[in-house]
Amino acid sequence: MFNSLSDRFSKTFRNLSGRGRISEANIREAMEEIRQALLEADVNLDVVNSFCERVQKEALGEEVLQSLKPGQQMTHIVHQHLVDLMGPVDSHIMFVEPAPTVIMLCGLQGTGKTTTCSKLAAYLKRNGRNTLVCAADLQRPAAVEQLRVVIDGVEANGKGNAQVAFHGEPDKCAEYGSATGVAIGVCQRALKRARSERFDVLILDTAGRLHVDDDLMKELDGIRYALNPHQIYLVVDAMTGQDAVQSASAFNERMNVDGVILTKLDSDTRGGAALSVKEVTGAPIKFIGVGEGHDALEEFHPERMAGRILGMGDVVSLVEKAQQEVDEDEAEAMAERLAKGQFTMNDFVKQIRSLRRMGPLKQIMGMLPGVGSAIKNLDGHEGQLDRLEAIVGSMTNQEREEATLLKNKSRVRRVARGSGASGPEVNKLMKQFDMIKKMSTQMAGMGMLGKMKAMKGMQGEDAMAGMEQLAGMSTRGSTKTTSVKKKFKKRKRR
């Protein structure tokens, strides 16, 4: 997420940090680099000019010019102005009494609107809200069936005890798909059902077009006047950059939307839409889509997003993800086992699976402070984790509990054949597991201060090398890993 923009910002601030005291000329030079970075990220030109003017005015103040750490001062100023640019915003949904709260989703075709419906329903389910989702897109072929399938998936596999149900009338799609009044009728019957069956929320998945046109707006206007939704959210594809901002502006002028949901932010998007849409349209970003799964919809927090852009990480979101995926009782039991030195290969695989449930490894690592551009090295490494699990899956139950048994060469050959790996790969995994077991046992007995000291220095590229070791990834020929090993040997000699 925003890798290119983050790299440019980090480079600019590093250059300032290396200058000691700075001058107005240094700041103007840095601001020109920031301006270029924002333009390359496809941020709206007017937004770029306004943003840079505000930052430069504050940066030229005496506090920065007299600072012994100008790079940090500039980072703080840019961070605050990025937060102001994207916010403020309250991402929580305002629910009404009596229920149901009616939420209308609109947007162009291909933005991920139907998928976002399922994600929003899953989000509401996790928060204890019974939700009915109405298929009001009678234009696109198979749109009703697609929504039914994804909503059935949310109800079957989503987290939380609340109910998620689907309302669709496919016969109306086949016979009257071009009539605006038919879509209104479907929505009205869905609202009647939501009231009678006491649903907390009704979500309307409306039709889209390939472009903003009068027919589309008339249909959306009809639904809006007939049902008077409490919230209208515009779904925008972040990958389309300034086209997304222009369409958002057109929708907002006609529909007066209450918020924007940015989709596909897990891609290597340049970030222009995220940084421009609030300033241009005045409509706040409420949620962001960061993956394909039902749970890949996050509340939008400007301060956290600004931290990610500037390479400062997003530890709060990381902790929230961990709380969702990690069972507290299981975590306590694991901690006790670590303290007693009973860490097994089964425990190791459980930890890897817990990490993977939190999201793609590259996305999770991007939330850690100091990692920055090093996450580029994680492309394609999800497959390495599959390989690791295959190796462990080829072991017997006894071997997983007593890893020392795999010092036997015949056992290693059998595991290698069963997993499709080579003997050296199996041996390498066992060495790494032994190292992790010793490190985990030592840290299990430390207090918080001791753990922080133990982790100190494991930042940036060194931290990535450590993660590659943890995940059992191939690091042959890696200069980063070599440098870490040399440091370790020097410390050992001392």
Neighbours of 299 (CB within 10 A): 17
Query: Mind listing the pLDDT tens digit of every residue in the chain (494 residues)?
Result: 566 777 788 788 777 766 656 678 888 888 898 898 888 888 888 889 999 999 888 888 766 656 556 677 788 888 889 888 888 777 788 899 999 999 999 999 888 899 999 999 999 999 999 999 999 998 888 889 999 999 999 998 888 889 999 999 888 775 544 556 788 999 999 999 999 999 999 999 998 887 788 888 888 999 999 999 999 999 998 887 777 888 888 888 888 899 999 998 877 556 678 888 888 888 889 999 988 888 889 899 888 888 877 766 555 556 666 666 666 666 677 667 766 667 788 888 877 777 777 666 666 666 565 554 444 555 555 667 778 888 988 999 999 888 889 889 999 999 999 998 899 989 888 888 887 777 766 665 555 445 444 544 444 334 444 444 444 333 333 333 344 344 434 444 44
Which residues does residue 133 pair with via DSSP β-bridges, in sequence order?
166, 203
The C-alpha R_g of the chain, in whole angstroms, comes to 26
Q: What is the pLDDT of residue 368?
A: 60
Q: What is the dihedral of CA 463, 464, 468, 474, to 10 degrees?
A: -130
Q: What is the pLDDT of residue 482?
A: 40
DSSP per-residue codes, 54-102: HHHHHHTSHHHHT-S-HHHHHHHHHHHHHHHHH-----S----SSSPEE
Q: Give phi and psi for 162, each to the nearest 5.
A: -70, 160
Neighbours of 409 (CB within 10 A): 10
Q: What is the pLDDT of residue 444?
A: 57
Burial 223-234 (b: 16+ CB within 10 A, else e): bbeebebbbbbb
Q: What is the pLDDT of residue 22?
A: 67
**Residue 313 token pair:** 């990480």
Q: What is the dihedral of CA 296, 301, 303, 306, to 10 degrees?
A: 40
Residues 6+ apart with CB under 8 A from 299: 91, 92, 286, 287
Q: Which strand (E) or helix (H) includes residue 378?
A: none
Omega cis (within 30) before 88: yes
Q: What is the pLDDT of residue 293?
A: 84
What 3-state class would DSSP assign to 108? coil
Which of these, 35, 29, 63, lies nearest to 51 by C-alpha position?
Answer: 35
Adjacency order of strands within the sheet including 285-289: 164-167, 131-136, 201-206, 101-106, 231-237, 259-263, 285-289, 297-299
pLDDT digits (tens, 9 = 90+) for 387-396: 888 898 899 9
Q: What is the pLDDT of residue 282?
A: 84
**Residue 332 token pair:** 């306590």
**Residue 461 token pair:** 């590229």
Q: Which strand (E) or helix (H) includes residue 133?
A: strand 131-136
C-alpha to C-alpha distance for 430 and 405, rounded to whole angstroms? 10
